[in-house]
Structure 1
Amino acid sequence: MDTRRRPPKPRRPTSSQDGGGHHLHQKRLPPTIDNSSPSSPPKASDALPLPLYLTNAIFFTLFFSVAYYLLYRWRDKIRNSTPLHVVTFPEIAAIISLTASFIYLLGFFGIDFVQSFITRSSHDAWELEGSHNPNFLINKDHRLVTCPPPSSIDPIPKLPNPETIITPLASVEDEEIVKSVTEGTLPSYSLETKLGDCKRAAVIRREALQRTTGRSLEGLPIEGFDYDSILGQCCEMPVGYVQIPVGIAGPLSLNGMEFMVPMATTEGCLVASTNRGCKAIYASGGASSVLYADGMTRAPVVRFETAKRASELKLFLEDPDNFDTLSTVFNRSSRFGRLQGIQCAMAGKNLYIRFKCSTGDAMGMNMVSKGVQNVLDFLQADFPDMEVIGISGDFLVSS
């Protein structure tokens, strides 16, 4: 056995020489990684031997020229009473060319149309999977952060599964509550009642939503809002709020007083147009307002077997002696809704009933609908043959 050490094989030089014979050491770079695939997926046009614009021009020209040639030939055959199925060799070549160009155009633009949807969905800014959007990462604190695109010498970072997106909470108790919400043992809508802290409930609900869906809500603000003020009034199960710019218009001279009108909007020129109107009113000496009617209406439609029965209900509803009874039944649904009047109109066997009531400071359509339903249920006892067609019959009666 030969134990002699063999001379080492010559290596490739890793340094370069300058003009004076000195060696300039260079650090070997790792192999370049092609990052073009995530941002520019392969397309069907990459397999074409010619540039895309030139290939499209050729097939467009071929399609329309061959179609014109065949139409011209078929017109001559019809004029000369020649059977259309008798074709010559140029016509066969034209039919093959027409079919080939049609298949190319249909296939190419069809694939491009499908790829447009695939590309659009792969650049979804809310997607957390690394194969779709490498510009979003999870940092060491388990928070979603943005990062610059990876360089050509850095490996493409891999994102964890959506289930691992965790935002540290204030206490271990909050973590247990989030776990209960995600597992379904604690309803999300009951957090405010259970915790007694609306802000804390919104934070926990937000975190549970992120862990359940695997999507981040980092762009949705949560700090700086009074969540107690909306409890049971204007929004259920909040997880944040939306910022809307507020403009100012005025001064508005109304009823001898001047007002500055704040307007929250994202519509361009809306505040400017309102401000011009305020300026015109102010320059003309101001405006006066008069409230002559205040009420919300709902007009259900009912149907009977005969027009006579519909007229009997109409007379019953319009009788002043019955108004107090109907008003008591109507007002039972709300502390603020109060029945003001009833008007009826017949259309054959159909009877349209228009209820008008006051609703306090609220818009009040829900309370009106509940009051109307109470009255309809009450009328069903005396008019069992009454069929309710709709709670809103879209029928207007002049006041």
Structure 2
Amino acid sequence: MEAHRLSSTKPVQALKPTKKISLEEDTGKASDALPLPLYLTNALFFTLFFSVVYFLLSRWREKIRTSTPLHVVTFSEIIAILSFFASFIYLLGFFGIDFVQSLVFQPSPDVWIAEEEDDEVLLAKEDARKVPCGQALDCSLPPLPPAAPIVTVQKVFDEKPVTVLTEEDEEIIKSVVAGTTPSYSLELKLGDCKRAAAIRREALQRLTGKSLSGLPLDGFDYESILGQCCEMPVGYVQIPVGIAGPLLVNGREYSVPMATTEGCLVASTNRGCKAIHLSGGATSVLLKDGMTRAPCVRFGNAKRAADLKLYLEDPDNFETLSVVFNRSSRFGRLQGIKCAIAGKNLYIRFTCSTGDAMGMNMVSKGVQNVLDFLQTDFPDMDVIGISGNYCSDKNRLR
């Protein structure tokens, strides 16, 4: 009785996989019952279906053209209709039934999870039986480790989150969020540019509800950009730098660094540098270096516009105008003035040097100084715009 009980309970543990294997072996595949291979059968019914559809549509179009009733069919049309239904039923049964059943009889996620856990336990036990038990070998099954959560792989900056520790910083953040402390004044108020950036960053996160953890904060000298190239910083962006060259110019080789995220830009520039180098190099000649700004002014008549033109282009007045212009900057220096009349409008082109800077701001300030100075002797002058589209805005003359 005890032996019979053991023999009856032992296969119960492997009942599920044993039953699954026997079903697959006994039943076989549905495609095994077909007289032709599966791919030939599918190709045959596909061809039959579309051929019949094309034939019936052609016949019905001919009947409509000849005013023949559609219900009057010939023997060939009857065969075509029967072939259409046969091929349609085959294709629906072969491709559509499983899809419909997957939608209608879709099991709950709990069922799938339970079946997967049972399969894992059974497979683990069967694998354990294959391992021979030796001395000091624990044959008991270890507990299964918990399943690792599925996460989306995303590259982020390896940076510790910025935390504000002092109560003073917390009070400043609250005042920035409330609007009582302007965000742009933090550097001047605190005297520490990095601390100001961290406080501004935290205030921005609280205002927007968005995290800036992917934007680096540490590892940058915020003192170097104060009043120079960026206001109200909250971090910085890393841009890859490629190298192109060597570029042979005026007998000297230069390696050109390029900071960009545009694909193939450095590669194409490098090919151009190589072509220039193989052709013997390039020779550059600087003809003129200057930045221009050309305001437009209007008078009551053309004569007054001509009077101002003669005044501005008189060499005796250039020194006075140059002093007025140069007061706006340490680097901007007036080089020349050229005027053009269009009716009652006068277009004045100021050309100046701007040093190493692009210099449109310093040029515009100098031009505004000259216009204010001219308003004394030409009170009827009406300034239409600081730029009258007669200047080479943001372009160097070379």
Q: TM-score, normalised by structure 2?
A: 0.58
2:300 match: secondary structure: coil
Q: Aligned Cα RMSD in Å?
A: 2.6
Give structure 1 stretches of 5+ with no counterpart. Answer: 1-17, 25-146, 151-165
Q: Pick from 220, 240, 245 the counterpart of residue 245 of structure 1.
A: 240
Separation in structure 2 between the aligned mates of residue 370 and residue 169 of structure 1, nearest angstrom: 42
- What is the one-letter code of the residue matched to 1:256? G
Provide the aligned length of Structure 1 versus Structure 2. Answer: 245
- What is the one-letter code of the residue matched to 1:323? F
Alpha-carbon spacing, 1:381–1:282, altered in 2? closer, same or farther (3 Å): same
Tell me what 1:288 maps to.
283
Matched, 1:339 2:334: yes
Separation in structure 2 between the aligned mates of residue 19 and residue 188 of structure 1, nearest angstrom: 79
Deviation of the 1:173 alpha carbon: 2.5
Deviation of the 1:356 alpha carbon: 0.4
Deviation of the 1:241 alpha carbon: 1.1
Output one character per residue of 1:242-294: Cα deviation in whole Å (capped at 9) or x when no partner: 12221110111122221111101122221111101111111122222222211
- What is the one-letter code of the residue matched to 1:180? S
Rg larger for: 2
Matched, 1:210 2:199: no
Q: Is the 8 A contact 2:297 2:384 kept in 1?
A: yes
Tell me what 1:328 maps to.
323
Spell out the pairing of 1:1-399 with structure 2 (5 A cutoff).
20=9, 168-395=163-390
Alpha-carbon spacing, 1:290–1:23, altered in 2? closer, same or farther (3 Å): same
Alpha-carbon spacing, 1:19–1:345, altered in 2? closer, same or farther (3 Å): farther
- Identical-pair percentage: 76
Separation in structure 1 between the aligned mates of residue 391 and residue 300 of structure 2, nearest angstrom: 23
Q: TM-score, normalised by structure 1?
A: 0.57
- What is the one-letter code of the residue matched to 2:356? D
Output one character per residue of 1:219-246: Cα deviation in whole Å (capped at 9) or x when no partner: 2121221111111100001001112221
Q: Is the 8 A contact 2:293 2:391 kept in 1?
A: no
Alpha-carbon spacing, 1:223–1:309, altered in 2? closer, same or farther (3 Å): same
Higher helix share: 2
Alpha-carbon spacing, 1:148–1:208, altered in 2? closer, same or farther (3 Å): farther
Deviation of the 1:199 alpha carbon: 1.2
Separation in structure 2 between the aligned mates of residue 338 and residue 180 of structure 1, nearest angstrom: 44
Separation in structure 2 between the aligned mates of residue 289 and residue 202 of structure 1, nearest angstrom: 43
Deviation of the 1:184 alpha carbon: 2.3
Give structure 2 stretches of 5+ with no counterpart. Answer: 1-6, 14-148, 153-160
Structure 1 stretches of 4+ moved >6 Å: 21-24
Separation in structure 1 between the aligned mates of residue 298 and residue 376 of structure 2, nearest angstrom: 15
Separation in structure 2 between the aligned mates of residue 257 and residue 167 of structure 1, nearest angstrom: 47
Output one character per residue of 1:328-369: Cα deviation in whole Å (capped at 9) or x when no partner: 111111111111100001111111100001111111101111
1:371 match: secondary structure: helix
